[in-house]
Amino acid sequence: MIFIKKHINLSFSFDGSLQRREKWQYPLEAVRELLLNAVVHRDYKNTSDIVIKIFNDRIEFSNPGILYGHLKLEDLNRDDYVSSIRNRLLAESFYLLGDIEKYGTGFVRIRKALREYPEIGLKLEEIGDYFKAVLTCPVVIGQEPDKSPDKSMMLYYCQQPKSIKEMMVHFNFNRRETFVNNHLKPLVNSGLIRMTIPEKPTSSKQKYLTTEQGITELRTAQTNR
């Protein structure tokens, strides 16, 4: 969940109260249920991995093992479907931990969560030996298009260490993957910006700082204006 939240959009709105309201690109309850479904109901005799892919317009959850027993894809669209449990001991463990509220109600809760997100679609399918669930979001509601900061703006802003989140907020950028690949990485690769913790690239405390080379280039650009 932490990984997914780092790679999907989060928007804020104000309703007149002192608190701002946040809305994730996808309902977190639905995401959580699909993750639980992949872990609890996968076929552990199959040595393949659970695969989660995050794109700008969708999240794909794929796990080894098609629906178990007599359960069919169309059954999951009904609130009265009867679950068939492949891994009963594992399901009971998650139930006792409080992660599962009631057997056979996961997709009921997913549909309930999606009612608050009419723009989000859910597609279920069986492909070979895999069960696949896809949350689709073709349009990000309530967000402005990404604005592209030029190189000088990035170098100027990062004269003090900044995290990716701080940079995205400052430059009004929504898509983390696009921002990192198109704007941050080229400056890091060219030696103009560096990581503050290079030995741990994925550290949660990672920040980025303009290098001496970057400051020299920034000064040159300012002089030539």
Are the beta carbons of 86 and 46 closer than 8 angstroms?
no
Domains defined for the chain, CATH in brackets: 2-136 (3.30.565.60), 151-223 (1.10.10.10)
Nearest in space to 130 (alpha carbons), one of 201, 206, 51, 208: 51
Average pLDDT, the chain: 85
> What is the per-residue pLDDT across 99-111, written as a single tens digit (0 to 9) for each?
777 666 788 889 9
- Which of the four pLDDT bands, split at 50, 70 and 90, describes residue 61? very high
| Overall average pLDDT of the 161-188 stretch | 88
Return the percentage of the chain with pLDDT > 90, whole number.
44
> What is the per-residue pLDDT across 64-82, written as a single tens digit (0 to 9) for each?
999 988 888 888 888 888 7
> What is the per-residue pLDDT across 82-131, written as a single tens digit (0 to 9) for each?
788 888 898 888 888 877 776 667 888 899 999 999 889 999 999 999 99
22, 159, 167, 193, 196 from 210: Cα distances, Å? 31, 5, 13, 4, 10
Residue 23 has pLDDT above 60, yes or no: yes
Residue type, 91: A
Residues in the chain: 225
Residue 144 has pLDDT above 50, yes or no: no
pTM for the whole structure: 0.58
